[in-house]
Chain A
Amino acid sequence: MACQDWNDLFSAASDQQENTKGATANRGLRTENAVKTGKRELGNKGVYWRRVTTVESGKCPTVRLRNQSLSCLHCGKPACAAQCPAQAISKRAEDGIVIVDYAKCQGCRTCLQACPWGIPQYGHDGKMQICNFCADKVSQGEAPACAAACTGGALFAGPLDELGRIFLSHSPARLAGNTEPSLLIPKTSR
């Protein structure tokens, strides 16, 4: 597919208001990629490619819970890639997935400083890890593990323009930022 104006064809549309059971997605992604990269076995504590934060607001009984699920946003203009001194981070030409070349990564953590969302994480080997959008699954036409596993049906993955059409009635807004994050947030009543 030819490159679109936003550069990246793939994005995750995430209903941030109502992303239930994000932890499921979280686990799914983590274990999936532990296999694919061979990097993360049991005990590599604290590293999560998708994190879910539950935010409580209001007073009993009108309390609200918001589950915010966040992984690498595969930005249109990734600051991590631009700043990486080892040039270990690149955007995959065919779909815009941000990929880390572990062989090149020096573990200097410049990418964490550069990323406005605080996404990059570091495992036992000190090297940077981010969600790779299940690149090999996506290459084979499958959905990323998180979207395939989410029990609430709150995570979707696909080309941005396509997702924009699917969620048209929910007036989806792209997450704003200089790095052009590839995240659509549909508005819902809840």
Chain B
Amino acid sequence: MKGGVEEKRQEKKFSACCPSLGLCTATCPLQVSVKDGRITHISNHPDYRCCVQGHAQRASVYDPNRLKYPLKRVGERGEGRFERISWDEALDRYAAKIKEIGGKHGHESILFYPARGTLGMVRLAAKVRFPNVLGGMATVWGSLCISNKTSVAPMMYGTANTESDLDTILDSKLAIIWGYGFADSNRRIDFAGQGMRILMEARDQGTRIVVIDPFFSQTAAKADQWIPILPGTDGAMALAMAHVIINRELYDKDFVARHVAGFEEFKQHVQKYTPEWAAGITAVPASLIVSLAVEYATGQPSALFPGDGPSRVGRDPSQWVLACGALAAITGSIGKPGTNATAGFGFNKMIRIGDLGATPKSKVTVQVNECQIGDAILSGKALQPNGTVVPVNLRMLIGHGAGVVNQAGDSNKIVKALRSLDYIICADQFLTPFARYADLVLPVTTVFEGHEVGYYFQAGHALVYSEKCIEPMYECRSDLAIWAAVADRLAAGADFHSDWTDLDWIRETLKMSAGAPHMAEVTLERLQKEKVVFVGPRPFIPFQEQVREGKPFPTKSGKIELYSREMEKRGLPPLPTYLDDFENARHPLARKYPLTVCTPHSVAWLHSRSNNPSLQELYPIEVFVNSSDAAQRGIETGDMVRVFNDRGVVERKAKVSERVPPGVIAMHQGPWFKPGGDGTDRGGGVNTVTTDTIDRVGGAGTYNGVLVEVEQA
């Protein structure tokens, strides 16, 4: 034991934030043990638990596959043949190509895509400032993520800050968790370890928990009831529930009279959405739709938590989001403990951060939807946030921590587009599927190799200080250092503040934020001392003042607007509507591709992140196939199968399971696209078969459910 004690003395403990910080609320504080400049162990902060990925991050830092020095491409794009170059040469090339291509085709021909690899306070500010000080570049809008929820919430509620903290289900009689595997993917609260705890605690306290999801997740396994539903049909079920609640007069008449506008129109509108009709679309029995609707309306307080899965599948899933908002509005499940206004996404905006990147303004206004980068390159047209389509001539792509190929729909189309570009720069920690197509690859540090502050930029209450635990590995440099060096080369160093350290960026950002509510008390010194700082009251429940004190809602009418004039103006359904024209059982393609693929999140990957050796050992890359579908195709557990449609072919190991209903297969998203010579993706990437379609209002991808067929490989 004596040796052990001595060993402990030499070991230093640091406080860090999860390397996925800022990405999907992954901001858990971690405790990092370091000995002789090497991380010996990473575990959760003693006071907060984190998910398996936090514990496994050491394997990412010391993964032998990390990028070690700058590379230039010597083989064909995608071949993966590169040659080591010096940083000076790499940075000269980076700067020279901006000058050359920007000079020839204009800066709008350069797409700057610093994605959500690690979104700490420093990087968030710097990534906006960098292109702006160089005269602007084309940037991305929309999202691979949640904008189908956030963009419609204001139409109904006048604000996107509409979602209660999840803890509120502790006060609910019924909690409906709709396409939301928070206990699996550990998201949506301040810290990852909380999701499962809150769920279990709520159940112990007597909250009845119902999970609606095509996939029987670990979250569903802990619930009182699982209702499997066909992907993309959620809107039909939600509207049928509204039909039941209104026609049985179970709605909160008093609440509706005081706070809801457009109820009569909505009432007429939902008459066609009978439970029997919905049953034929969703595969959920009509009796179940009725009983859940009755329970939701009468068992107050009830909380409906619409997840992100259904918001990214089907035709304009933002309609489903609005339908959920309408359910909350007509039942008065708003503004009280145990309820959720439902139309938004974890938006409480407790943490308000000043935008150091906002000045100077970009001179380029062209934007490319994040889900349609490939399409914009190939077609020369790009849809803008306001609905107009503008011509584009994209020649160069700069990606920092960007899952361009792996995480957007239709990987093969993106690859085709990348092959046509003049120049591609990729800065990342690994030779990602995107990096394989780059001309210049730059090795980037992990969060443990510098100072950062983690917080979820849209929700949550916690700011987490992340100390520098070790020196940068190999020749790796931070994104900030790369941008500073390039700005210097292009005579914009002073504008970019290229002499600022990461601590300077944090200090200045916090100074800018001090005017916002709760933010004045957050200083660098306090973060360094306390490591974790919480702001704002918890649990956050929106619209308490409106409901309790009769204050108007921040909409034009001062009420919750079920009828949207803005939707009407844009030629879209003004009332929540179910649209059926997407890849489902009624689509002509269904004869050829009869199965729908659903792509849930795994506990082991955060999108394409954490794809490290120790997690790969624990979590096999599988495709869940219902036993009846498997029997028809002669597929058994462990068989290698091909999942395919017209967009691509991907191979995975089959898992014959009852965790998906007949007609649906499930593939956890995250594994890396790795096409072989025949074009078959043997890495198991889900986006090999998905689409790059987007929601017309939200601008986020609708790639969660597409038609495929499965056969023995």
Contacts and interface: CB of A to CB of B under 8 A. Distances in A.
B59 interface: yes
Interface string B549-585: 0000000000000000000000000000000000000
A21 B658 CA distance: 20
B221 A65 contact: yes
Interface residues of A, number: 36
Interface string B325-346: 0000000000000000000000
B409 interface: no
B626 A60 contact: yes
A35 B216 contact: no
Contacts of A21: 51-52, 196, 218, 603
B62 A63 contact: no
B41 A32 contact: yes
A27 B55 contact: yes
Nearest to B284: A61
Interface string B607-627: 000000110011100000010
Contacts of B52: 21, 23-24, 27
A186 B340 CA distance: 34
Contact of B660 (A28, A31, A58, A60): A60
Given A20-B183, A35-B41, A153-B200, A61 B618 contact: no
B617 A45 contact: yes
Nearest to B617: A45
A58 B43 CA distance: 36
A35 B658 contact: no
Interface stretch (B222-230, B417-425, B426-434): B222-230
What band does the interface of chain B fall in when counting residues whose beta carbon is under 8 Å from A?
35 or more
A63 B226 contact: yes
Nearest to B656: A56
Contacts of A178: none
Given A36-B4, A63-B226, A151-B196, A24 B51 contact: yes
A151 B40 CA distance: 22
B33 A65 contact: no
B451 interface: no
B192 interface: yes
A13 interface: no
A177 interface: no
Nearest to B56: A27
B49 interface: yes
B614 A27 contact: yes
B216 A26 contact: no
A88 B197 CA distance: 40
Which of the listed residues A43, A60, A152 has the most CB atoms from chain B within 10 Å of its own CB? Answer: A60
A95 B43 CA distance: 25
A20 B43 contact: no
B3 to A, nearest CB: 10
A190 B223 CA distance: 9
Contact of B618 (A18, A26, A139): A26
B661 A61 contact: yes
B221 A149 contact: no
A150 B44 CA distance: 10
A28 B197 contact: no
B221 A42 contact: no
A165 B372 CA distance: 59
A21 B222 CA distance: 12
Contact of B55 (A28, A64, A67, A139): A28
Contacts of A23: 52, 603-604, 618-619
A60 B55 contact: no
Contacts of A67: 218
B618 A148 contact: no
B1 interface: yes
A34 B617 CA distance: 16
A63 B55 contact: no
B172 interface: no
Given A24-B55, A63-B658, A190 B222 contact: yes
Nearest to B218: A20
B657 interface: yes
Which of the listed residues A18, A59, A139, A152 has the most CB atoms from chain B within 10 Å of its own CB? Answer: A152
A145 interface: yes
Given A23-B52, A26-B618, A148-B44, A60 B659 contact: yes
B51 A46 contact: no
Given A65-B221, A139-B1, A151 B614 contact: no
A149 B43 contact: yes
A149 B196 contact: no
B55 A149 contact: yes
A18 B183 CA distance: 13
Nearest to A188: B204
Nearest to A61: B228
Nearest to B33: A35
B653 interface: no
B431 to A, nearest CB: 18
A26 B660 CA distance: 27
Given A20-B196, A139-B1, A42 B661 contact: no
B193 interface: yes
B662 interface: yes
Interface in B23-72: 33, 40-44, 46, 49-52, 55-56, 58-59, 62-63
Given A36-B4, A60-B626, A149-B43, A43 B613 contact: yes
Contact of A60 (B43, B62, B216): B216
Contacts of A190: 203, 222
Contacts of A145: 43
Contacts of A34: 41
A153 B197 contact: yes
B4 A151 contact: no
B186 interface: yes
Interface in B376-393: none
A60 B1 contact: no
Interface in B193-238: 193, 195-197, 200, 203, 216, 218, 221-222, 226-228
A45 B1 CA distance: 27
Which of the listed residues A27, A56, A190 has the most CB atoms from chain B within 10 Å of its own CB? Answer: A27
B614 A42 contact: yes
A136 interface: yes
B221 A64 contact: yes
A153 B617 CA distance: 24
A98 B209 CA distance: 41
B658 A58 contact: yes
Nearest to A29: B55
A20 B221 CA distance: 10
Contacts of B49: 24, 149-151
Interface string B402-445: 00000000000000000000000000000000000000000000
Interface string B94-127: 0000000000000000000000000000000000
Given A21-B603, A32-B41, A152-B196, A136 B216 contact: no
A31 B42 contact: yes
A67 B603 CA distance: 14
Interface of A: 18, 20-21, 23-24, 26-28, 31-32, 34-36, 42-43, 45-46, 56, 58-61, 63-65, 67, 136, 139, 145, 148-153, 190
Given A42-B613, A60-B659, A65-B659, 15 more contacts: A23-B618, A31-B41, A31-B42, A35-B40, A42-B59, A43-B613, A56-B657, A56-B658, A60-B661, A61-B228, A139-B1, A148-B46, A150-B49, A151-B50, A151-B186
The 4 closest A-B pairs by CB, nearest first: A65-B221, A27-B55, A151-B193, A60-B658
15 contacts: A23-B604, A27-B618, A31-B56, A31-B58, A34-B41, A35-B41, A42-B614, A46-B617, A59-B658, A60-B662, A61-B227, A61-B661, A63-B658, A67-B218, A152-B196
